[in-house]
Amino acid sequence: MMDRRRFLLTSLAGAFVAPLAGEGQLASRVYRIGYLSYLGCSDDPFLNGPFRQGLRDVGYVEGRNVVIECRSAPGKTDRYPDLVAELVRLKVDILLTQGTILTLAAKQATTTVPIVMVYIADPVASGIVSNLARPGANVTGLSMLAAEMVQKNLELLKEAAPSISRVSVLIDSSNPGQTLPDQQMAAAAKILGVRPQRVELRTSADLDAALEAVLKQRAEALYVWPLPITPRDSERLAEFATKNRLPTATTYQPYVRAGLLFSYVTDLARQFRRAGVFIDKILKGTKPGDIPVEQADKYELLINLKTAKALGLQIPQSILTRADEFVQ
């Protein structure tokens, strides 16, 4: 009887201990996330704030159960494939990509590492996913309605400075995330009575020539797409615009913090927080191709009041009341 009792107790104890040991092993797993930054790892406000917060919201704490490997090459798009290849060699569990060009570079580099994208204008037209409901392959994430943002930013420029007619558009035409919605700019511009004039800017080395082209075009305002330039370049661009009394609009919030005037764009901080949910689903076993791409449902108007003052612009109350945030 004693031997049988000991046997039963030992078996029961083992039944309880085994699952706990398994849970402990699962909890001790450290996942490696490869992050491709557009701005530069140390300057990236989305990495240093909302993305890390989004990971914490779903239970991932850097240094405890997750490691973030960040790579960037601001102003040097030709290095993007090498950055992705380096992260793949590190055997990251997942890649987080910002913008169309970085996402395309990641997709071309790997068909096996899951990719979560954020801040994508049109992932279907850009060839990143097959459709939004079932993206297929190894990519999913969050997108936005770029055509709407283009129209709103042009409207802001015209409303703030009604006399403008010539708008220089700084664009990287190698980026389908810009060329596709840029094609829709013509209709909005015609309605508003402005004429867009494209200026190519693909790398930091192109900046001086681009600014010279803006002057030759006798621009009265600037529309700035997200460009493969450094944070210092974006400050130089803002200084140029202020010096030449050019109101500016952009679809990239960090440029407004650097000194451009307006930005009407999807809530980027929310997209980076939401990326944590996508990453959690994938790490728990869901295939990225089975996770629908999420369309942005919230947009923000950011205004740099310091820049408005430097330009001598009196921002209409109709714009001020719509603002979500002011840069002083």
Output the tens digit of pLDDT for each of the chain's 328 residues: 444 444 444 444 444 444 444 444 345 799 999 999 988 898 899 998 999 999 999 999 999 999 999 999 988 989 999 999 999 999 999 999 999 999 999 999 999 999 999 999 889 989 999 999 999 899 999 999 777 888 899 999 999 999 999 999 999 998 888 887 887 788 889 889 999 999 999 999 999 999 999 999 999 999 999 999 999 999 999 999 999 999 999 999 999 999 999 999 999 999 999 999 999 999 999 999 999 999 988 899 999 999 999 999 999 999 999 999 999 8
Rounded CA separation 282/41 (Å): 24
Rounded CA separation 75/63 (Å): 30
Nearest to 92 by CA among 112, 119, 72, 64: 112
pLDDT in the model for residue 38 = 87
pTM recorded for the entire structure: 0.87
